[in-house]
Amino acid sequence: MEKFYLTTPIYYPSGKWHLGHCYTTVYGDAVARFKRLEGLDVFYLTGTDEHGQKIEKRAADAGVTPKAFVDGLVAEIQSLWRELNVSYTKFIRTTDESHVRAVQNIFKRLYEQGDIYKSKYKGKYCTPCESFWTESQLKDGKCPDCGRDVQDAEEESYFFRLSKYAPRVRELLTKSDYLKPESRVNEMVNNFIDAGLEDIAVSRTSFTWGVPVEFDPGHIVYVWVDALSNYITALGYNGDAPSADMQAYWPADLHLMAKEIVRFHSIIWPAMLMALDLPLPKKVVGHGWLLFGGDKMSKSKGNVVDPFVLKARYGADALRYYLLRAMPFGADGAYTSEALLTRINTDLCNDLGNLVRRTGKMNVQYFNGEISRGQAVSGEDDPVVAQMNALYGEVKAAMDEYKPQRALEKIFDLIGAANKYIDVTKPWALAKEGQTERLREVLYVLNEAVRIAGTLLLPFVPQTAAKIMEGLGLAVPERNKDLAFGKQKAYRTKEIDALFPRLNVEKELDELEKLADKKEEEKVEEKTESAPLITIDDFCRVQLRVAEVLACEKVEKADKLLKLTLKVGDEQRTVVSGIAKYYTPEEMVGKRVVLVANLQPRVMRGIESRGMILCASEGDKLTLVTPESLIGSGAEVC
């Protein structure tokens, strides 16, 4: 049986899932389901990317071990995929023992053959993106990917000889169909390869939550090397020995992802595979972002984008349909609750729902649900029949190019045409006039249209499509076959419930707004409730002192930071604080603040910050915590 290996990104277990996160995985699921219906043996891989400094920090903040921290979040994302009917074959976790061993072996092999070497890293690091940058790659001094502040990083590190593979990677991108859409190829070649591809640091020593380099355990394998390897370790690859799944499924037919991580998949990943002497994946597709008020991340208030909430309210298929239909291939799409609700009403409830409901009702009303070909064929059937006959080819062509939006457009064109066909042929008039044979044929045409559209909808809205088949009295097909007019000779149909209830958009928007407010409140409560209890001894380890602000200035090229000169008793010290949006330097001078005096110093923007000043925050508001009456600087806060 022909094999098809498909992967979606393994997610950071952030716990803040929004609808945008669901896009890649639902998209992958539509492709996986379509290929299975085509008779292919599909291996669909997804999972979680659990290592790195960011997780280590968040776990420490929560007072738990990183593994305990990720376990809960992994269970949550698995339940999200279940809720959305994602039919993955395997869920890999980068904390799986077999993956960890395999990454160690891969690293060792690359080191032994000279593709990895030890040197010193000096540059910048963006912790949220877990990415190294050189000074020249920064955009206005910030991470070019996410726009956030970067930290100075200088450490002994292992390097991967990416530069050695630059010519082959360039050729792969420019001379093959490896990366789609085309626009991303230019971006990669111009911005990264032709700008000079340097060797990359592939180990870190400043934290411990990751895969230790086996032969130098102070070093942790760079998270992207760890993460990208999942595509082969999931198939049992462990550095050299071939595994049965590797032989069966590798190379991947499709790596699907959003555009921001195309760089890793089209430069570092093929170079790693070249170094390992493995065949290269056939295709990388980088899709656009679902935008929330112009942003990839959802920070918007008033728009519920929690997929669990939306799923509970509108069902998995409505969300799947919206995501797959709203996003044109490779481009971004803007999310609004209104657009989601309108799609549900117009496409799913009106167009699809009405066709299925009207046809089903007439089946029962005129022929007791028993439909077969009528004797009176008419030329007026030709256009809709031709459309039915063309549809499978069109959907297949779209899906071969991984374009679910186009496939759905075509399916809904047929649904629209079938609805029009009802209006034109007027079955109720035929019944009144006693034209039974013509009426029978008209209903047969309609049932065929519902069957063909319903079957082709299976990859996109599986539950709805199965219900349509149930209404037609047919088993859910396991293969795309008989997708031409006339292939189903007769029907014994059943009445089914409405596929999608009509939504009152105004009312729903109102409800969603209330839900969004409630979620915000819950978040605040959760933050307060989830803080772990500490002992008085724990608390006493924190030294809080009153400090007077002697001088204050903005930190160059950092919108959020102020540099404060503080008087703490007889001592003076510098503290950098992220309060520039709330206070001007002039306002700060003379204020008495509360300082966490025994924090380890940290370098921010080249300035050593010794301590942290306390603030209270609520939503968008932030205010300094100050002593209620005048008290000398240096006074202890207890």
| Binding site residues, ligand MSP, CB under 6 A | 9-12, 20-21, 23-24, 49, 227-228, 230, 257-258, 261, 289-290, 296
Question: Shortest distance, CB of residue 97 to ligand MSP, whole angstroms?
Answer: 19
Question: Shortest distance, CB of residue 166 to ligand MSP, whole angstroms?
Answer: 21
Contact 517, 300 (CB under 8 A): no
Question: Shortest distance, CB of residue 359 to ligand MSP, whole angstroms?
Answer: 36
- For 341, the token pair is 């609700």
How far is the C-alpha of 416 from the C-alpha of 396, rounded, in Å? Answer: 20
Question: Shortest distance, CB of residue 555 to ligand MSP, whole angstroms?
Answer: 28
**Residue 632 backbone class (left: φ over 0; alpha: ψ -120 to 50; beta: rest):** beta
The DSSP output letter for 620 is T
The DSSP output letter for 510 is H
Exposed e or buried b per residue across 168-184, where buried means at least 16 C-beta atoms within 10 angstroms of its C-beta: ebbebbeeeebbbeeeb
Torsion angle defined by CA atoms of residues 355, 357, 362 and 365, in that order, rounded to the nearest 10 degrees? 180
- For 259, the token pair is 């555009």
Q: Is 13 helix (H, G, I), strand (E, B) or coil?
A: coil
Dihedral over Cα of 235, 241, 242, 243: its sign: negative
Question: Shortest distance, CB of residue 163 to ligand MSP, whole angstroms?
Answer: 22
Contacts of 53 (CB under 8 A, 6+ apart): 127, 130, 204, 206, 207, 209
How far is the C-alpha of 589 from the C-alpha of 551, rounded, in Å? Answer: 6
- For 386, the token pair is 């031709």
Question: Shortest distance, CB of residue 4 to ligand MSP, whole angstroms?
Answer: 19
Question: Shortest distance, CB of residue 259 to ligand MSP, whole angstroms?
Answer: 8
How far is the C-alpha of 269 from the C-alpha of 40, rounded, in Å? Answer: 26
How far is the C-alpha of 265 from the C-alpha of 199, rounded, in Å? Answer: 16
SS (H, E, C) 420-489: HHHHHHCHHHHHHCCCHHHHHHHHHHHHHHHHHHHHHHCCCCHHHHHHHHHHHCCCCCCCCCCCCCCCCC
Question: Shortest distance, CB of residue 22 to ligand MSP, whole angstroms?
Answer: 8
Question: Shortest distance, CB of residue 550 to ligand MSP, whole angstroms?
Answer: 42
Instruction: Pick the closer one to ligand MSP by CB: 218 or 302.
Output: 302
How far is the C-alpha of 80 from the C-alpha of 611, rounded, in Å? Answer: 40
Residue with the shortest CB distance to ligand MSP: 20
Question: Shortest distance, CB of residue 483 to ligand MSP, whole angstroms?
Answer: 31
How far is the C-alpha of 577 from the C-alpha of 611, rounded, in Å? Answer: 9
Instruction: Pick the closer one to ligand MSP by CB: 24 or 633.
Output: 24
